[in-house]
Structures are given as structure tokens and as C-alpha cells.
A = this chain, B = another copy of it.
């Protein structure tokens, strides 16, 4: 699942000085057993360890050892969460990749966690694939699910986390049909029955109006409608959710769920919930994708069993009883 790409293994995505370090040290016949420790710059959630583990298993020779915290555990600022003890050149080239995997994914996972905690049990789905490079998008969805999301929108991301991808239909499809009800009926006719029928209801008319028309057309088979009002029209508000709920209920569609997307943040989620808006699911995009990476730092702390460190760091191994043997 997390098999490292060949060009990553070859060092083509590494800081070039690690390639030169290997060149120089090999020429000097120098390859000491060295202990490296890694710590994050902020408190947060650890994500990326499984991918790092896969990389280390490819790289480390027999006899090497590693200790780490688990995927999804909380981490504290400057807490050592990974320790590697091995001949230095066996892993020197992968410092860049290890830190990058952890930084990017832990940053996303923590932001997802903040949404999930704000939602107090209401499911949250990752809709951010469109805000990151497509090669990174599946890792975003994976990290969001580690952070507590119910699923993500990309097949590859959901698959890495053992989930089904989640999605409804785009505005573009409705516009191609020229009518929300026609699009909904066609979707219902052609898509596998185990895919939930969830319809976007803000394309042509007022959300409560479109919701009612779609509910009448699909009846029992309609699982949910999604409100995604654009910011030009003020975005989705708690009052709009309540009004849609009330109008659906007055027409006896109490079973149809309401999903909300567009500009959703933990603060907005708390605002919806504290306003009593009956939301059945949130879709979150840019809040997670605009989270800053949680940068990590790696330090050599022992060489051939002797404590050493650069200035500003304390020589020798840092005790952390939470670490478990990884390799």
C-alpha cells in the first residue's frame, strides 16, 4: 500500500547534499553506526508513520533498529517520536522524505481532527483533493481519515485508509442536464444501488425549493441533499439549514438528510451546532488543505555509541517511554 516510489528511493526528491554526503563518506570509507532522533515543531497528531515504516524497511540493513510512536497518536512539541539506530549511510538519503511525509500528513491530520472534534459526532468528509497536487491528494485523504474523517473523495486515498470514497455529483453534471431533477433521476437510474443517492440542491433554484422537488422525484431512495451555496450568495447559514429541514419535514421528508459544504471550518461547525441547525454531515476542503505542515527535525545524537550533537542540542539519546520498537 505504501510502497515507496522508485525515484524517491533513488534520492531524486531528496536534498541534494545527502547524495553528496554519501559520495564523500563512501570515498572516505566512513559509515558509522549512528542514532538519529526526530521530533515535531508543534503539538498535534502523528500521521505518515506507516509510509515511513515502509521506506525504512526497504532501506535499513539487518541488525538495524528503530523505535516510534503509532500512526494517529498525539505528539507534543519537540517530543522524540522516531529513533533510528543503523549505519548512517543506510538511511542518510531518506531524511528529506521521512521528514516530508510526516510534516505534510501530520499537518493535514491535525486540521481534520479539529473539524471532527468540533462536529461532536456528526460525520465529516474530506473534500479537499482539488486544493492539492494530484500526486499528494490521496495522502491528504488518508491523513484526514487518520484525523477522524469518515472518508475522503478520492478512490486511492479512501482505499489507502480502507474506506469507500464519498461523493455526490458536481454542479457541472447538473448544468449539462439543465435541470436538477433530471440529473438526479438519471443518477438514480444508472449508478450502483449501494451508492447513496445524495443530490446537490443549490444549482438553479433556492435550496429548499430544489430539495423538495428532488425529494418528490426520488422518494424513499433519496438519502440526502447537499447544500453548497456559493459565497456570492452568503454561503450556507444555520437559518438556511433550518428552513430546508422545516420545509422538507412539512412535506413529510423527515428521512432525507442534510449535508453542508463550502467554507466549513471548526468555527463554522461550532456555529452550526450551537445554533441548533440540524446538519447530518459536513464536507471540509480548504480548512484541511491550508493547514501548515507540522515541520519535523532530525538530529544525530550518538555516533558509534558515543553521545554527540550539534550546538544547541543535548548530546545522547533522549528518553521517551512512549516509543515502541518499530523495526
Selected contact of A134 from candidates B96, B167, B168, B314, CB within 8 Å:
B96
CB distance from A82 to the nearest CB of B (A): 14
Is the pair A16, B176 in contact by a Cβ cutoff of 8 Å?
A: no
| B residues near A233, Cβ cutoff 8 Å | 233-234, 237, 239-240, 311-312
Selected contact of A311 from candidates B92, B153, B230, CB within 8 Å:
B230
Q: How many chain copies?
A: 6
Alpha-carbon distance between A176 and B187 when the two chains are bound, in angstroms? 38
Chain A, 129-144, contact with B by CB distance < 8 Å: what is the 0/1 string?
Answer: 1111111111100000
Q: Is A319 part of the binding interface, using a Cβ–Cβ cutoff of 8 Å? A: no
CB distance from A152 to the nearest CB of B (A): 9
Which of A30-38, A64-72, A116-124, A216-224 is the interface stretch? Answer: A30-38
Which of A18-26, A252-260, A264-272 is the interface stretch? Answer: A18-26
Is the pair A187, B129 in contact by a Cβ cutoff of 8 Å?
A: no
Alpha-carbon distance between A168 and B20 when the two chains are bound, in angstroms? 9
How many chain A residues sit at the interface, stated as a range, is 35 or more
Q: Is A43 part of the binding interface, using a Cβ–Cβ cutoff of 8 Å? A: no
Interface residues of A in 1-55 (CB under 8 A from B): 5, 7-8, 11-21, 23-25, 27-28, 30, 32, 34, 36
CB distance from A36 to the nearest CB of B (A): 7
Alpha-carbon distance between A135 and B55 when the two chains are bound, in angstroms? 13
Selected contact of A101 from candidates B99, B133, B154, B316, CB within 8 Å:
B133
Selected contact of A95 from candidates B34, B172, B189, CB within 8 Å:
B172
| B residues near A74, Cβ cutoff 8 Å | none
Is the pair B286, A20 in contact by a Cβ cutoff of 8 Å?
A: no
Is the pair B293, A293 in contact by a Cβ cutoff of 8 Å?
A: no
Selected contact of A155 from candidates B19, B131, B172, B175, CB within 8 Å:
B19
Is the pair B313, A232 in contact by a Cβ cutoff of 8 Å?
A: yes
Is the pair B242, A135 in contact by a Cβ cutoff of 8 Å?
A: no
Q: Is A282 part of the binding interface, using a Cβ–Cβ cutoff of 8 Å? A: no
Q: A28-B190, A171-B310, A234-B235 are in contact. Are A139 and B129 (CB under 8 A)?
A: no
Alpha-carbon distance between A169 and B203 when the two chains are bound, in angstroms? 29
Alpha-carbon distance between A296 and B131 when the two chains are bound, in angstroms? 8
Interface centre among A30, A176, A299, by most B CB within 10 Å?
A176
- Who on chain B is nearest to A188 by CB? B24
* 18 new A-B contacts at CB < 8 Å, known A21-B173, A290-B293: A12-B154, A12-B155, A16-B153, A20-B187, A25-B173, A34-B172, A96-B130, A96-B137, A97-B137, A100-B137, A103-B289, A104-B132, A171-B310, A175-B300, A175-B310, A205-B209, A233-B312, A290-B292
Interface residues of chain A, those whose CB is within 8 Å of chain B, are 5, 7-8, 11-21, 23-25, 27-28, 30, 32, 34, 36, 88, 92, 95-97, 99-101, 103-105, 127, 129-139, 153-158, 165-178, 183, 186-187, 189-191, 195, 202-206, 208-209, 229-235, 237, 239-240, 242-243, 246-247, 250, 286, 289-290, 292-293, 295-296, 298-300, 303, 307-316
